[in-house]
Amino acid sequence: MQERTQFYINGQWVTPSSSDSIAVHHAGTGAVMGCVPAGGDKDIDAAVAAARSAFDAWSQTAPAARAEFLAKIAAGLKARADELGKIMAQEVGMPIKLSGRIQAALPIATFGNYAKMAADFQFEEQVGNSLVLRDAVGVVGAITPWNYPLHQIALKVAPALAAGCTVVLKPSEVAPFNAFILAEVIHAAGLPAGVFNLVTGLGTVVGEALVKHPEVDAISFTGSTRAGKRISELAAQTVKRVTLELGGKSASVILDDADLATAVKGTVGNCYLNSGQTCTAFTRMLVPETKYEEAKALAAATAKAYTPGDPMAETTRLGPLTSAAQLERVRGYIAKGIAEGAELVTGGADAPAGLANELRGGYYVQPTVFGKVDPRSTIGQEEIFGPVLSIITYKDEEDAIRIANDTIYGLAAGVWSADTARAQKVARRLRAGQIDINGGAFNMNAPFGGFKQSGHGREAGVYGLEEFLEYKSLQLKSQA
């Protein structure tokens, strides 16, 4: 059992303002695996006051010194990588082998990357008679999701610290234990008191208190589009800077000259990563009308290889969903797809067969493929956040581009073609922030973020650092 009873505020572990707690469930079994404190307004007030008090000194700390702290944090996380991988496999449900490679390894790399960047970044430059400075934006409220919990924390906390900002972190209450490990690592690294603060609780309580707080200068949020709209409304009252990374309904556009088997396999694998609980998941597979039957057969065969199983088993390819609420949501969308007339190719809303007794309380769903999906239907338009693929047919290239762009989202996409130049030409016309060409690999230095209701602002690389900086110009008088 994991039991956390304190918050990390002003460089020390402190007792919350109330004794309320939140139970955290093991995704694979449904059993309670521990609890965390449920904070309130007073806890946020204390954390923000600590961050505000620490800001002046931290923002004036030499970038090289900030880089040293970030490097220590990266090293501290690396020393606890196995522990982090196991914790997040239980919290989130990602299979243990992948959890170590993704859930634990990416945040470690991110802190290390920003350590190098803080040391090398040009925080000032001469422009004519002006000295243009890049100043820290101030106190940052970071609100993070449960699907890639520590990765999303790292993408906010690391660049904010590198920029000279102080941070109050509100992690997801669904997968919070990794954030407490980070706080322990930060404490051991000797980061000055108040520079990093951790408060857990419900989004409607501590999240809203953080967003509304007049001493918070910027909010960085990753989560649902619905919550992002609420944050924008609240933050507008104090004219805060807001960075939003929200939902997606990403299209994988398979052109008529693509290697169909490779493209379908790559699309299904992308769609099912983390049991489909990935904002960039390729949940819409667009194929030429003439290749539908072949694509459907390939997708079904690929999907059936993703047998749901215990996330703690080394051989598991598809773990459970993260929560009971998410399981109900995904099953509801599968039922909706059937009701609206899509062809159920494989899978369905029923629980997977063959689960061991100890796993039957877990949040498992069958890997599902729908065919002949109407692009304007519910499952063709709304983010499901589960291992559910919709196959949509198109007439020609223009039709494919139209369908791919015809959602409220614009986070990611994929294009597959034997002709790379053709694939890039199509990709340039897609309204999405990140587009993979023929399965191109994730680049942690490229900007990450979306168009339309997928949010605004960018994370990762130098682009993520710039979200936490303000321009200041000093107009210098000539000495001549």
User: What single string gives the DSSP state of each residue in 358-381?
Assistant: GGTTS-----EEEES--TTSHHHH
Nearest to 164 by CA among 196, 131, 136: 136
What would the two tokens of residue 375 be? 């692009």
Tell me how far apart the alpha carbons of residues 235 and 210 are, in angstroms, rounded to a whole number: 9
Structure token pair of residue 397: 């290239």
Q: Which residues pair with 370 in a beta bridge?
A: 344, 390
- Active-site pick, 271, 279, 383, 459: 279
Q: For this structure, is 279 an active site residue?
A: yes
Strand order in the sheet with 139-143: 12-14, 7-9, 196-198, 166-170, 139-143, 218-222, 241-245, 455-456
Q: Which string of b and e fits 22-45 if b means at least 16 CB within 10 Å?
A: bebbbbbbbeebbbbbbbbbebbe
Q: Which of 91, 173, 208, 245 is catalytic?
A: 245
Handedness of CA 247, 253, 390, 276 (dihedral sign): negative
**Rounded (10°) angle between helices 397-405 and 420-428:** 40
The verdict on whether 35 is a catalytic residue reads: no
Alpha helices, H only, 93-214: 96-98, 105-120, 149-163, 177-189, 208-212
CB 347 within 8 A of CB 367: yes
Half-sphere exposure of 63 (CA within 13 A, CB side): 19
- Catalytic positions: 245, 279
